[in-house]
Amino acid sequence: MKTLVINSGSSSIKYQLFDMTDESVLCSGVIERIGEKEGVLNHKIAPDTDKAEKVSVEQPIPDHEVGMNLAIDLICGENGVVKDKSEIDAIGHRIVHGGEKFSKPTLVDENVFKELEKVVPLAPLHNPGHLAGMRVTTDLFPDVPQVVVMDTAYHQTLPEKAYMYALPYELYKEMSIRRYGFHGTSHKFVARETAKVLGKPVEECNIITVHLGNGCSMTATEKGKAVDTSMGITPLEGLVMGTRSGDVDPALHALLGRNKGMSLEEVDTLLNKESGLKGMCGMNDMRDIHAAIEEGNERAEMALAVQTYRTKKYIGSFMAVLGHVDAIVFTAGIGENDAIVRERSVEGLEALGVKIDKELNDCRASEPVKISTEDSAVELWVVPTNEELAIARDTLAVVKS
């Protein structure tokens, strides 16, 4: 079964074609600057092998249709990894916000389009791009089953006490204002991969997954189901991220409006694009921050301290939520590669049964690695995430059901 996974944004489309017989990636690519003067498509054949090849196309890409057609020509053309479009068996779409309607991956039909349109006000930066990509692929592949896999779906099992904001109830009823959580595909995948290395069914595991990438979030999974998460109605709440603030006092908008004359739009941009690590020290890549700390940059040290302190606070609160915890698991760009961030995120938690082994922790993981001491009551792991593979697996499961 060949499954194409698509992540269609407002001005970019990322794709990967999997051969699901062995879950290998046949090709992958990124189309960027859709709608701008000059667009670009970078296509890779067999990207994870030593036979990897790269093809770049630079030309105006006015819309998603032109971009997707360019990619399809490379995937299915004369030199493509498949010889014909008909060899693609299923298509999976990553959707950031599924609102309250979608609690599981779902086969695309007209009703799915309508429901996702309704959610646009909750994710105005993401969902229109997803819908544009879905329209193009349903036109190009009318006979191929297409599945939407929502970042919010995994967290639809949160209990009311975890997802409700303490706001007038009418706002929930009228506008669906509640916490949704994001990175769900990653948290679900990593929790399941962790259960495998723990040697137990996920339904018997309590796991805290700590996704630290450019975006950062944490989820508490109890007996296989998400019961709390750090992100909220948007992916801004919670942990400190590359350019996003995470938790701030909700009075901040009013304060900046009154005292600095900032509009709501300006505060929104400030919190999403100019805050987080970048806001504190001018850098949002953790590798640059470590290099700057080495050179004595105090603001870089402060940014690292604020980020890891916030992560530790959330770990502590999710330990309280779960009571018993089998494993705390780090994943994504920072979580998989950064021993210092991992160590600082759990330092001082020994009394809660969390003991990191500094030698084991000194790793960059492409496979699951245990990083806790033998006598740690809670196991610590690094487990690589793979959201595209997770979407491909979910897509196949829906198509086969």
In whole angstroms, the minimum distance from the beta carbon of 212 to ligand AMP comes to 7
- Point out which span in 119-127, 196-204, 311-319, 329-337 binds ligand AMP (CB under 6 A): 329-337
In angstroms, the CA 211 to CA 218 distance is 6
x-or-dash string of contact with ligand AMP, 199-228, rule CB under 6 A: --------------xx--------------
36-44, 83-91, 304-312, 327-335 -> range binding ligand AMP (CB under 6 A): 327-335
By CB under 6 A, tell whether 337 contacts ligand AMP.
yes
In the DSSP assignment, the letter for residue 282 is: S
Given the complex with ligand AMP, which of 1 and 363 has the nearer CB atom?
363
Strands 13-19 and 24-32, bridge-based pairing: antiparallel
* Shortest distance, position 89 Cβ to ligand AMP, whole Å: 28
Query: Which of residues 353 and 368 has its CB atom nearest to ligand AMP in the complex?
Result: 368
Q: Is 228 a catalytic residue?
A: no
Q: Which two tokens stand for residue 271?
A: 């919190």
Eight-class DSSP state of 350: G
User: 10 Å Cβ neighbour count for 139?
Assistant: 10
Q: How far is the CB of 238 from ligand AMP (least distance, A)?
A: 15
Extract the tokens encoding 29: 């690519």
Q: What's the alpha-carbon Rg for the chain, to the nearest Å?
A: 21
Least separation, in Å, of the C-beta of 285 and ligand AMP?
A: 4
First CA to last CA across the chain, in angstroms?
14
Candidate ranges 50-58, 103-111, 280-288, 350-358; the one touching ligand AMP (CB under 6 A): 280-288
Which residue type, as a one-letter code, is found at position 227?
V
Tokens of 363: 């790793």
**Cα separation, 97 vs 75, whole angstroms:** 28
Which is closer to ligand AMP, CB of 268 or CB of 285?
285
184 binds ligand AMP (CB under 6 A): no
CB of 10 to ligand AMP, least distance (A): 18
Considering only 222, 326, 338, 394, the residue that binds ligand AMP (CB under 6 A) is 338
What b/e sequence results for 322-344 when a residue is b if at least 16 CB atoms lie within 10 Å of its CB, and e otherwise? beebbbbbbbbbbbbbbbbbbbb
* 332, 378, 382, 391: residue in contact with ligand AMP (rule CB under 6 A): 332
To ligand AMP, the closest distance from the beta carbon of 278 in angstroms equals 10
Q: Does 242 contact ligand AMP by CB under 6 A? A: yes
Position 354 contacts ligand AMP (CB under 6 A): no
Q: Which residue is nearest to ligand AMP (CB)?
A: 333
Catalytic residue, chosen from 50, 151, 228, 394, is: 151
Structure tokens at 20: 């699901």
Measured CA to CA in angstroms, residue 10 lies from 14, 41, 122, 281, 284 at distances of 11, 15, 15, 29, 22
Distance of CA 194 to the CA centre of its chain: 17
Pick between residue 148 and residue 341 the one whose CB is nearest to ligand AMP: 341
C-alpha 355/C-alpha 7 separation (Å) is: 38
Task: Name the residue nearer to ligand AMP (CB basis): 383 or 398.
Answer: 383
Instruction: Pick between residue 12 and residue 337 the one whose CB is nearest to ligand AMP.
Output: 337
Ordered DSSP codes for 24-66: EEEEEEEEE-TTSSSEEEEEEESTTSTT-EEEEEEE---SHHH
How big is the site for ligand AMP, counted in residues (CB under 6 A)? 11
Structure tokens given for 9? 């944004």
Q: Which is nearer to ligand AMP, 14 or 101 (CB)?
A: 14
User: Which helix (H) or strand (E) element contains residue 160?
Assistant: helix 160-163
**Site track for ligand AMP across 281-300, x = CB under 6 A:** ----xxx-------------
Footprint on this chain of ligand AMP (rule: CB under 6 A): 213-214, 242, 285-287, 332-334, 337-338
Instruction: State the catalytic residues.
Output: 151
